[in-house]
Structure 1
Amino acid sequence: MTRSLAALDDLLAAADADAYCIEAGSDDSNQLYLSGFDAPDPFFTAYTGEQLAILVSGLEYGRATKESNADAVARLSTYNYAERAAEDGQAAALAGVYADFLADLGVESALVPERFPVGVADGLRDRGLAVDVDGDDVVETVRATKTEAELDAVRRATAANEAAMAAAEDLIAAADVADDGTLVIEEDGETTSLTSERVKEEIEVTLLRHGCALDETIVACGADAADPHDRGSGPLRAGESVIIDIFPREKASKYHSDMTRTFAKGGASDAIGEWFALTEEALEAALDAVEPGATGAEVHAAVCDVYEDADHPTLRSDPDTETGFIHSTGHGVGLDVHERPGLNPRGEELEPGHVITVEPGLYDPEVGGVRIEDIVIVTEDGYENLTADSPVELVVQ
């Protein structure tokens, strides 16, 4: 499986455009993917179908010539950027430089992503270029189908994620229960409260040792766990569900993983136990529906069927519900932790090489929350579950 920009070529041909252009830093995943260049400050990329060219500062020129995907690399100084900026201001200077750069490539019309800077687009139009918007985000569609090298990067990130999840579970398992029901641990000869923050620290340290990092993670207990995106804070308590959702990024490749497990120290309420068993059933139903040609909508419907049959509300059965199954079933994972394809009522067709999460869950502030999330690769005949060896067990003794 090799990277193909055929869909981008087709888009340019259909739109009768000369180039696809992006102006952004590498924190924009489409820029990173298309250019292959990791730089924090915005730079300009133009793909014509015939070649890929990038325009960078002098600071980045050397690295860009060695590391990027570009067939041609140009510097801002080639177009007298500093002099133009001193005379006309930065915005006008950049627009003029970009216009001249595109003229050298023979580009008179360009397609740009929806988030392309308005000021830059207007500046190019003022200089005679036709600039139209790609409303379908074709580069993200291209990114959704991973090459073998990309899949290996996700596998490595997932292995790190599994190690971090195991470290978090071990920390909970090692904890004792204080008289007030909170969890405590012995560290450096002292008894301290086991908090969401302490578990997050363990997760982050483990990920760093495996070449990954993350900006934040979820360790949410009790009522906090009833909000799917509550990061969690404060002491963890015995008998309550603790949702741990880890979504790291491998430092070298920039590719993500994503995984969730739910734990309860010492035991759980009957309601949480029932929810956990039902969510396992929903997970299996969703995985059974994953295959090339199926749609994300069909996978999502499989989860809704399980929950609705058990008389739990979903957003399908009640769009205004605030309890029950209150999110989509999953999403694509790659350079972004949330990308195409979606496993939701509008979810598109799944294809070999797609990487998706499958993450059913149930939530109610009066009870807590339960979520189980695996990450899988869609294959030619089904799927490969990258988290298949990570235990799905609620009770931690």
Structure 2
Amino acid sequence: MNDNSSLPCVLAGIAGKNPSLFRRIQVGLGDPAAWIESPDRKVALVRDLEMDRVRQNSHADLVTCPAEHAPQQGLDADRETATAQAVAEFCRQQGWPTVRVDRTLPFVFAWHLEQAGVGLQYDANLGVLDRRQKSEQELDFLRQAQAVTGEVMQLLCHRIATSTANANGELVHDGQVLTSQRVRSMAASEFLKRDYSMSHGAIVATAPEVADCHHSGDGTLRTGVPVIVDLFPMNNQTRYWGDCTRTVVHGQPSDTVAKMHQAVAAAKVASTAKLRLGETADAVHKASDQALLDAGFPMSRGTITDEPSIQHGTGHGIGLDVHEPILLDHGGGPVLLGEVFTIEPGLYGRNDGGVRIEDMLAVTEGEAENLNVLHEGLDWT
């Protein structure tokens, strides 16, 4: 890939939905906006009503609006089209023959740039590499998000563990049967109290649905059967995410579930030891897989099984989105200083249920910093 880092770059879209654009504008705008950056100037082009907020929060050298960069034929009445026209006109007036763009650029912006004679050069690292290495402030935001996630996790797992079991083995809380849906509603309520949102929901899953490791869970929770609780809320102020998984068993786990838990805990230890500078995401993942294989559990990626098996990679980057590059998986490249990952080995089967443990860790000069403080056991009474 050619080095195009000296070219001016354009990021555009809805900052409230585009984390790379938000990271620069620093306001979660619901209207179209753009960030135009050259070696000597950073420009935020936003709706006129938002200019003051962006001036106060971003590090832009210039905050402007579409009306100040109308092409000769004028601006379209459609807001997104008008913003794209203004971006294209701004770049044309700068005399730029080519600009760098990232993977998220909406086609309406690409089309108008090309109509204005401005070529596009795709940069695979734009909006990716800068987000991988977190600043100290970003690390603090992630610590805060994970602390709140852990607080709610503790509450929910304790609630499941201390429920009563009726004659059918169903868990009951406050006189009502406890279901996956009800626990997710509890989670949403608790996060709302703390000004966090669950825009992607949550996972509260037990057998047999948990055999599909991304199933959100459905129906009644039962004594003696493991429940995977996976919470991944966003802080509504900072827009950084938490992500934590624990497994809870009401009553006594089976010997198989106890063995699964022991293997998953060992896999997390092995992969965490590899999460350091000089190692690769591939090596971190393979350490987890090997620990699970050594414990006697088979690989079954892409296939849902009755007996416990290995189904997924070891983790992912996290920050302004819950899933960010790079993956802790086969072929993953070198990890970077300040990068934050989840490490979340798991085992899943229809018959016995699933076990997953997930922490969030930051890459440092030495051992990775674990942002979790919760215990990892199955007993939450």
- TM-score in terms of structure 2 length: 0.92
1:196 is matched with which residue? 180
Distance apart, 1:85 and its partner CA: 4.1
1:13-28 to structure 2, matched below 5 A, reads 14-15=3-4, 18-26=7-15, 27-28=17-18
Bigger fraction of residues in helix? 1
Percent identical among aligned pairs is 30
Pair 1:119-2:108 in alignment: yes
Cα deviation, 1:203-250, whole Å, max 9, x if unaligned, reads 223223333222211111111222111111222111111000011111
Q: Secondary structure at the match of 2:217?
A: coil
Distance 1:90 1:368 in 2: 50
1:147 is matched with which residue? 135
2:196 is matched with which residue? 212
Pair 1:284-2:274 in alignment: no
Distance apart, 1:94 and its partner CA: 4.4
Instruction: Name the CA shift for 1:52/1:93 in 2 (closer, same or farther; >3 Å).
Output: same
2:91 is matched with which residue? 102
Distance 2:184 2:71 in 1: 45
1:174-193 to structure 2, matched below 5 A, reads 174-186=162-174, 191-193=175-177
Cα deviation, 1:67-113, whole Å, max 9, x if unaligned, reads 222110111122348983458x7776544322222234443311111
Instruction: Name the CA shift for 1:34/1:94 in 2 (closer, same or farther; >3 Å).
Output: closer
Distance apart, 1:201 and its partner CA: 2.5
Pair 1:244-2:229 in alignment: yes
Q: Secondary structure at the match of 2:333?
A: coil
Give 1:127's aligned amino acid. Answer: A
Q: Is the 8 A contact 2:88 2:109 kept in 1?
A: no
Distance 1:249 1:16 in 2: 32
What is the aligned counterpart of 2:74 among 84, 88, 95? Answer: 84
Q: Secondary structure at the match of 1:260?
A: strand
Q: Is the 8 A contact 1:37 1:69 kept in 2?
A: no
Cα deviation, 1:19-64, whole Å, max 9, x if unaligned, reads 1111111111111113323201221111112111011112212212
Q: Secondary structure at the match of 2:361?
A: strand
1:156 is matched with which residue? 144
5+ long unaligned stretches in structure 2: none
Distance 2:52 2:86 in 1: 20
What is the aligned counterpart of 2:40 among 50, 58, 63? Answer: 50
Pair 1:392-2:376 in alignment: yes
Q: Secondary structure at the match of 1:100?
A: helix
Pair 1:64-2:54 in alignment: yes
Instruction: Name the CA shift for 1:96/1:321 in 2 (closer, same or farther; >3 Å).
Output: closer
Instruction: Name the CA shift for 1:121/1:36 in 2 (closer, same or farther; >3 Å).
Output: same
**Which range is displaced more, 226-235 or 255-264?**
226-235
Give 1:322's aligned amino acid. Answer: I
What is the aligned counterpart of 2:161 among 173, 176, 197? Answer: 173
1:362 is matched with which residue? 347
Stretches of 4+ moved more than 6 A in 1? 89-92
Give 2:4's aligned amino acid. Answer: A
Distance 1:376 1:82 in 2: 52
Q: Secondary structure at the match of 1:244?
A: strand
Q: CA RMSD in A?
A: 2.2
1:254-333 to structure 2, matched below 5 A, reads 254-314=239-299, 321-323=303-305, 324-333=309-318
Instruction: Name the CA shift for 1:54/1:108 in 2 (closer, same or farther; >3 Å).
Output: farther
Distance 2:166 2:245 in 1: 26
Figure out how many residues of one structure are paired with residues of the other and give that number.
376
Distance 1:92 1:338 in 2: 30
Give 1:47's aligned amino acid. Answer: E
Give 1:236's aligned amino acid. Answer: L
Distance 1:307 1:79 in 2: 59
Instruction: Name the CA shift for 1:342/1:92 in 2 (closer, same or farther; >3 Å).
Output: closer
